[in-house]
Amino acid sequence: MRHTWLADAVVYEIYPQSFADSNADGIGDLRGVIERLDYLAWLGVNTIWFNPCFDSPFLDAGYDVADYLRIAPRYGTNDDLVELVVAARERGIRILLDLVAGHTSVEHDWFREEAERTSPDPLGDRYVWALDPPLRDTSGDLAGTASWVPSPGARPGYYLRNFYDQQPALNFGWTHLPADEPWRDPVDAPGPQRNRQTLRDVMAFWLDKGVAGFRVDMAFSLVKDDPGHVQTMVLWREMRAWLDAHYPDAVIVPEGAEPRLGEPLAFNADFFLVIGAEHASLFNDHSAGILPWNERLTPFFHAQGGGGFIAFEEAWDAAHADEPGRLVLMATADHDFNRLRCGSRTMEQLGSTLAFLLTWGTVPSIYFGDEIGMRYLPDLPDVEGAICNPTYNRAGCRTPMQWDDRPNAGFSSAAPELLYLPIDPDPDRPTVAAQRSDPDSTLHLVRDLLALRASTPALRAGPSTRVINADYPLAYLRGESHLVVINPTQDSMALTVPEALGARLLLGRGAGLHDDVVALEPFAFEILELPR
């Protein structure tokens, strides 16, 4: 197994709709990304994760794929993707695509054809159909709950959806096969096996074009009625073995943390989801109002303090229990929920949070725009995100990148009303250009942290991370050679750290070392190299 590069990855998530529009149609595209690669290289990221950029009716922002092998025309062509991969590699940047493994769009030819069949496909059904399934009523169902939707075609009965109604579940079979539900296929039936082969074909198609791997959407949703995801993980271990044989350098990263089943792990990392308790207990800012189930949490990174670090630490330790060097991705934010800076959070708070994310032993994932502190824009009408569930409006975290002071913040030269989503109207909105010329900006801080991380092996994902103060201020050792002390709050504070005596300051803001006492102003942090 090669793919060791992931330990040194700094991921940058690009929501392609909103990053850079090169052809003035109001929506981002691949050529726009190519034109901005120098910026990403300057910033210090070395891996791009694209949200799905395949052909799609875009009822769920592209997570409803109509053709896995074709770049959506609004983003460009397959050749543009190849050009992007090459140009990125020249700058030391790898590309991860989003593999939507659990469902397609209702507009995929596979679904259209199957919906018109009056009997099952002799080669095996790609989707799950039933004449009279239980629990047919989908009204009020949460997005993401598999449930039944009436067939739109000649095929009688219902199909199983995976997320929204327009996202029919691909048939990877069922673990339990009760006699009174004969429409359930076992995992080794022709339909499920056909879909497994298709997963391999899709991965091979893009890996042959030079991409470095995939973030796998809803990775654990494949086999249905699968307690503990046991059969789903058999499938992913099979995929990993196939990758190891044919594309040993390629990585697969799941959406979420991989279940621990006492078997070798299939994915190359876990992902501590923004929505997950472990991540939310650190950063959740529920002011945007789209995370109701986390509302009771006070995050650790909170101006007034009052949050706890232990829940996160326990989750971190659990992730490493079976495999000490296990990689864990953690994101500043993502395309589904919030931004790092939301509601009342101020720019000055961001420094301590970013210092944590970029020095803790994680593989960081920076959601585009978080490096300049773009905000969540409340009260926008939904675009491409809430088709079945009006409360799941994700527009606020998907507004266009703010590049400079030109019209549309330099994102696009289209008329403003043509933009995919509006630009933050705040006249003081942060921009890349303004922050690039300000050495004290958040952007420069991110760049400095990434440069330090790149030149300091102890600060990367692999070496040990040992907490020495799981309270305010937070203090931890990396690789037993570097000390990080962080004050996420608005109150000044100090911490005595005997190991710090004689330490050398590498990077910090608002903090100072006096003998063995680290003194921190509000939202300060300090990264020190300990004496040998």
Question: Where along the sequence are the contacts to ligand BGC (CB under 6 A)?
Answer: 60, 63, 100, 163, 217-218, 255, 335-336
Strand ranges inside 255-358, DSSP E: 270-272, 328-331
Report the relative pairing of strands 158-160 and 270-272 from DSSP bridges: unpaired
Residues near 359 by Cβ (< 8 Å), separated by ≥ 6?
A: 449, 453, 459, 478, 482, 484, 527
Using the minimum distance from each CB to ligand BGC, give the nearer residue, 100 or 507: 100
Number of Cβ within a 10 Å radius of residue 138: 16
Q: Tell me how far, at minimum, the Cβ of 309 lies from ligand BGC, in Å.
A: 27
Using the minimum distance from each CB to ligand BGC, give the nearer residue, 30 or 397: 397
The CA distance from 505 to 360, in Å, is: 17
The CA distance from 62 to 522, in Å, is: 41
Q: Tell me how far, at minimum, the Cβ of 171 lies from ligand BGC, in Å.
A: 17
Q: Tell me how far, at minimum, the Cβ of 219 lies from ligand BGC, in Å.
A: 9
Using the minimum distance from each CB to ligand BGC, give the nearer residue, 165 or 255: 255
Phi, psi of 50 (to 5 degrees): -95, 135
Tell me the three-class secondary structure of 408-465, residue by residue. Answer: HHHCCCCCHHHCCCCCCCCCCCCCHHHHHCCCCCHHHHHHHHHHHHHHCHHHCCCCCE
Q: Tell me how far, at minimum, the Cβ of 458 lies from ligand BGC, in Å.
A: 32
**Could you say which DSSP state residue 182 is in?**
T
Using the minimum distance from each CB to ligand BGC, give the nearer residue, 62 or 430: 62
Q: Tell me how far, at minimum, the Cβ of 218 lies from ligand BGC, in Å.
A: 5
**Residue of this chain nearest to ligand BGC (CB atom):** 63
The CA distance from 403 to 38, in Å, is: 13
Nearest to 474 by CA among 300, 272, 284: 300
∠ CA 82-242-11, nearest 5°, is: 45
Q: Tell me how far, at minimum, the Cβ of 141 lies from ligand BGC, in Å.
A: 14
Q: Tell me how far, at minimum, the Cβ of 493 lies from ligand BGC, in Å.
A: 37
Give the chain's length.
532
The CA distance from 353 to 367, in Å, is: 14
Using the minimum distance from each CB to ligand BGC, give the nearer residue, 55 or 217: 217
Using the minimum distance from each CB to ligand BGC, give the nearer residue, 98 or 526: 98
∠ CA 162-369-31, nearest 5°, is: 80
Q: Give the DSSP H/E element, type plus range, for residue 11.
A: strand 11-14
Amino acid at 181: E
Using the minimum distance from each CB to ligand BGC, give the nearer residue, 60 or 185: 60
Q: Tell me how far, at minimum, the Cβ of 317 lies from ligand BGC, in Å.
A: 26
Using the minimum distance from each CB to ligand BGC, give the nearer residue, 163 or 283: 163
Using the minimum distance from each CB to ligand BGC, give the nearer residue, 71 or 218: 218
The alpha carbon of 508 is separated from its chain's Cα centroid by a whole number of angstroms, namely 28
Q: Tell me how far, at minimum, the Cβ of 454 lies from ligand BGC, in Å.
A: 28
Using the minimum distance from each CB to ligand BGC, give the nearer residue, 335 or 482: 335
The CA distance from 401 to 18, in Å, is: 6
